[in-house]
A and B are shown apart, each in its own frame.
Chain A
Amino acid sequence: MNTVTRLEHATEVDQPTTPGTETGTPATGVAVPGRAAPVRGEAYTVGRVDEVPIGEGRAFVAGGVQVAVFRLRDGSMHATQAACPHAGGPLADGQTDVDVLVCPLHLYAYRWSDGSSTSGAAPVRLYPVHQAGGEIVVEV
Chain B
Amino acid sequence: MTVTDSRVLGGRRTGATTLHLDDELDLRGRLVVVGNGMAGARFVEEVLERGGGEQFRITVFGDEPHGNYNRIMLSPVLAGESHEDEIVLNSHEWYADNGIDLRAGVPVERIDTAAKQVHAADGSVTGYDHLVLATGSYSFIPPMKGVRDDAGELLPGVYGFRTIDETRAMLDAVGRCRRAVVMGGGLLGLEAARALQGHGLHVELVHAAPYLMNMQLDPEAGAILKRSVESLGIAVHLDVFATEVIGGDRVRGVGLADGRQLDADLLVIAAGVRPSSDIAVRSGLEVERGIVVDDQLRTDDPDVYAIGECAQHRGSVYGLVAPAWEHAKVLADVLTGTDPDAEYHGSRTATKLKVAGVDVAVMGVNTPERDDDEFLVISEPKRGVHLSVVIRDDKLVGATLLGDTRKVAFLTQAFDRGAPLPEERIRLLVDLSDGVEEVGVAEMPADSQVCNCNGVSKGDICGAVADGCSSVGAVMDRTRAGKGCGSCKSLVKQIVEWAADGELTEDPSASWYVPGIPMAKPELMAAIRQQDLRSVSAVFAALAPGGQEDAKSKMGLTSLLRTIWGTEYVQENDAKFINDRVHGNIQRDGTFSVVPQMKGGVTTPAQLRRIAEVAEKYEVPMVKVTGGQRIDLLGVRKEDLPAMWDDLGMPSGYAYGKSFRTVKTCVGSDFCRFGLGDSTQLGIDLETRFQGIESPAKMKLAVVGCPRNCAEAYVKDVGVVAIGDGRWEVYVGGAAGATVRKGDLLATVDSPEEVITLAGRFMQYYRENANWLERTYDFVPRVGLQKIQQVLLEDSEGIVADLDEGMQRSIDAYTDPWGQDGKEPATPGQFRPSLPLVELPKVPVR
Contact = CB atoms under 8 A, between A and B. Distances in A.
Interface of A: 1-10, 15-16, 18-21, 35, 37-38, 50-61, 64, 66, 68, 73, 81-83, 85-102, 104-107, 109, 118-125
13 contacts: A4-B17, A5-B19, A19-B829, A21-B836, A38-B27, A55-B572, A55-B574, A59-B836, A73-B537, A83-B835, A88-B590, A120-B480, A122-B49
B837 A61 contact: yes
A7 B842 CA distance: 10
Most buried by A among B18, B555, B578: B578
A53 B18 contact: no
Contacts of B15: 2
A18 B834 contact: no
B578 A93 contact: yes
Interface in B547-587: 548-552, 554-555, 572-575, 577-579, 581, 586
A6 B20 contact: yes
Nearest to B536: A55
- Lowest 9 A-B CB distances belong to which pairs? A85-B51, A55-B574, A122-B50, A90-B834, A92-B834, A93-B578, A122-B51, A90-B590, A97-B551
A93 B551 contact: no
A119 to B, nearest CB: 6
Nearest to A94: B578
A94 to B, nearest CB: 7
B471 to A, nearest CB: 15
B454 interface: yes
A115 to B, nearest CB: 10
Contacts of A101: 551
B338 interface: yes
A122 B537 contact: no
Interface of B: 12, 14-22, 24-25, 27, 49-54, 92, 96, 336-338, 454, 477-480, 483, 537, 548-552, 554-555, 572-575, 577-579, 581, 586, 588-590, 639, 827-829, 832-839, 844
> Helix, strand, loop or mixed for chain A's interface?
loop
B841 to A, nearest CB: 11
A9 B639 contact: no
Contact of A106 (B51, B454, B573, B590): B454
Contacts of A7: 19-20, 22, 839
Nearest to B586: A104
B839 A56 contact: no
A131 B53 CA distance: 30
A79 to B, nearest CB: 13
Given A120-B480, A122-B338, 8 more contacts: A5-B20, A15-B836, A37-B27, A68-B834, A92-B834, A97-B548, A121-B51, A123-B50
Contacts of B579: 104
Nearest to A65: B837
A118 B529 CA distance: 33
A2 B835 contact: no
Contacts of A102: 551-552
Contact of A20 (B18, B829, B839): B829
Given A8-B839, A59-B832, A107-B483, A54 B574 contact: yes
A36 to B, nearest CB: 10
Contacts of B27: 37-38, 64
Contact of B22 (A8, A52, A88): A8
A95 B477 CA distance: 16
A53 B828 contact: yes
A89 B49 CA distance: 13
Contacts of B827: 53, 56
Given A119-B480, A122-B336, A10 B837 contact: yes
A16 B836 CA distance: 10
Contacts, number: 186
Given A9-B22, A107-B480, A95 B577 contact: yes
B833 A59 contact: yes
A88 B827 CA distance: 25
Nearest to A37: B27
B54 A81 contact: yes
B828 A83 contact: no
A7 B577 CA distance: 30
B572 A119 contact: no
Contacts of B477: 118-119
A68 B578 CA distance: 15
Given A4-B96, A18-B833, A95 B555 contact: yes
Nearest to B25: A9
Nearest to B537: A73
Contacts of A68: 834
B49 to A, nearest CB: 6
A123 B590 CA distance: 20
Contacts of A50: 828
A35 B555 CA distance: 39
A35 B51 contact: no
B833 A55 contact: no
A99 B336 CA distance: 24
Contacts of B479: 120
B578 A104 contact: yes
B333 to A, nearest CB: 9
Contact of A104 (B16, B50, B577, B639): B577
A3 B579 CA distance: 35
A73 B548 CA distance: 10
Contact of B51 (A56, A95, A124): A124
B574 A35 contact: no
Contacts of A64: 25, 27, 837
Given A56-B827, A85-B51, A97-B549, A20 B836 contact: yes
B18 A56 contact: no
B355 to A, nearest CB: 34
A89 B842 CA distance: 12
A83 B840 CA distance: 13
Nearest to B467: A120
Most buried by A among B54, B548, B579: B54
A68 B555 CA distance: 21
A109 B51 CA distance: 14
B547 to A, nearest CB: 11
B588 A105 contact: yes
B18 A96 contact: no
Nearest to B579: A104
Contacts of B548: 97-98
A112 to B, nearest CB: 11
Contacts of A98: 548-549
B550 A97 contact: yes
B773 to A, nearest CB: 12
Given A105-B588, A107-B483, A119 B478 contact: yes
